[in-house]
């Protein structure tokens, strides 16, 4: 069911992507390695257990990305669908709905999309890269907004298998999620019209290196859409957590908005603007049937929800747009 050959064949004929096409088989083998990922066989078994259901209507432009069928789906088939999808727990980004089965993910990623959408340059005809895309929720929304091709990259194989579970029913050309991080993108590719990086920057030891990687994925004048954790403060203010932040161990830098704009300007971006700032609420990120582990409410100070359990400011996220030179 997981088949990247059509993408490899098409990229091999595209001068901008031929180098990546040559490297892709080895990258895919590494990214979906049974030796590296002991649970991969279980996830693939869940993928194979998905029942055959023919979709009639596919909806990519709705809060719950998904599909439905004209004919009523038998209860036992829906139970099989539910069980197979639960075999891919945890579901982080969504929501989705397949034939009436609501995948109520940890994140209400549709809320983020609603904040981002007004600030995206029109997507029809554009080639888009989504860095750290998870199972591809926002990729589907980008395709629904008219993008010609959407490439998501994420090094977590579970999320890639979740994408293929959705693709089994949504059956859309022009959308792919690849099992790799941005370091696998050929240097100075400069081929994407729009690049998204959401929830990634604060996980990078060097924010400047990441901003440069993103810039080098963009064609000249291409748009960057960046979402990351920020703090209140002025130019130069940055929080560097001494240990964990919101129980995450790999958080390195949380700049103020002014600092973030300065970083973007320093590495050559033009017309950088903060277009939204939002404090993450426990209604937007929470535990559900589809993500049964701890979530945001467990990471905040129970006596003062404006602080994390470690005493830092609670998560606040800024959306910034900028353009490659």
Domain architecture of the chain: domains with CATH: 5-323 (3.40.50.150)
Task: Determine the Cα–Cα distance for residues 233 and 242; give it in Å rounded to an integer.
Answer: 19
Nearest to residue 16, comparing CAs of 127, 99, 135, 141? 127
User: What tokens does 258 get?
Assistant: 């002014």
Give per-residue burial for 36-58: e unless 16+ CB within 10 Å, then b. Answer: ebeebeebbebbeebbebebeeb
* H/E segment holding residue 138: helix 137-144
- Are 160 and 179 within 8 A, CB to CB? yes
Report how far residue 106's alpha carbon sits from residue 85's, in angstroms, rounded to the nearest whole number. Answer: 15
- β-sheet bridge partners, residue 67: 58, 98
Cα-flanking dihedrals φ and ψ of residue 174, to 5°? Answer: 85, 15
User: Which residues, including other chains, have CB under 8 Å from residue 52's CB and lie 6 or more apart?
Assistant: none
Residue 147, φ and ψ in degrees, nearest 5:
-55, 140
pLDDT value for 318:
98
Q: Could you say which DSSP state residue 149 is in?
A: E
Distances from the Cα of 66 to the Cαs of 96, 163, 253, in angstroms? 5, 12, 36
Counting as low any pLDDT under 50, the low residues of the chain are none
d(CA 135, CA 96): 11
Nearby residues of 232 by Cβ (< 8 Å), 6 or more positions away:
256, 313, 316
Q: What is the pLDDT of residue 70?
A: 85
Supply 83's token pair. 């069980």
Compute the distance between CA of residue 274 and CA of residue 283 in angstroms, rounded to an integer. Answer: 24
In the prediction, which pLDDT does 274 show? 98
CA distance 224 to 190: 12
Q: 96 forms bridges with which residues in the sheet?
A: 65, 103
How far is 300 from 172, CA to CA, in rounded Å?
A: 39
Q: How far is the CA of 146 from the CAs of 27, 129, 143, 282, in angstroms? A: 28, 14, 5, 31
* Cis upstream peptide for 179 (omega within 30°): no
pLDDT of residue 1: 82
Q: Is residue 155 within 8 Å of residue 128, measured between CB atoms?
A: no
Which phi and psi angles does 190 have, rounded to 5°? 50, 50
User: Could you identify the residue written with the tokens 């209140």?
Assistant: 232
Nearest alpha-carbon partner for 244 in 309, 303, 317, 156 = 309
């Amino acid at each position: 069911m997981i088949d990247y050959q059509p993408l490899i064949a098409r990229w091999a004929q595209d001068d901008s992507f031929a180098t990546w096409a040559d490297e892709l088989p080895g990258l895919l083998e590494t990214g979906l390695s049974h030796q590296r990922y002991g649970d991969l066989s279980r996830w693939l078994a869940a993928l194979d257990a998905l029942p055959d259901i023919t979709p009639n209507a596919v909806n990519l432009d709705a809060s719950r990305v998904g599909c439905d069928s004209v004919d009523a789906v038998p209860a036992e088939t829906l139970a099989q669908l539910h069980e197979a999808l639960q075999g891919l727990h945890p579901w982080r980004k969504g929501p989705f709905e397949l034939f009436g089965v609501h995948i109520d993910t940890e994140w209400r990623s549709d809320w983020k999309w609603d904040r981002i959408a007004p600030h995206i340059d029109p997507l029809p005809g554009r080639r888009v890269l989504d860095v750290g895309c998870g199972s591809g929720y926002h990729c589907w929304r980008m395709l629904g907004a008219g993008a010609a091709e959407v490439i998501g990259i994420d090094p977590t194989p579970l999320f890639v298998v979740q994408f293929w579970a959705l693709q089994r029913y949504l059956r859309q050309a022009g959308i792919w999620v690849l099992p790799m991080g941005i370091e696998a993108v050929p240097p100075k590719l400069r081929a994407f019209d729009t690049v998204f990086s959401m929830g990634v920057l604060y996980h990078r030891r060097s924010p400047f290196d990441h901003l440069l990687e993103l810039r080098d994925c963009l064609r000249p004048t291409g748009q960057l859409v960046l979402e990351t954790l920020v703090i209140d403060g002025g130019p130069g203010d940055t929080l560097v957590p001494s240990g964990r932040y919101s129980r995450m161990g790999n958080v390195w830098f949380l700049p103020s908005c002014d600092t973030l704009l300065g970083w973007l300007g320093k590495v050559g971006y033009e017309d950088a603007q903060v277009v939204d700032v939002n404090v993450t609420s426990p209604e937007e990120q929470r535990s559900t049937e589809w993500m049964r582990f701890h979530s945001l409410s467990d990471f905040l100070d129970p006596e003062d929800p404006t602080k994390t359990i470690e005493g830092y400011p609670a998560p606040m996220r800024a959306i910034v747009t900028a353009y490659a030179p």
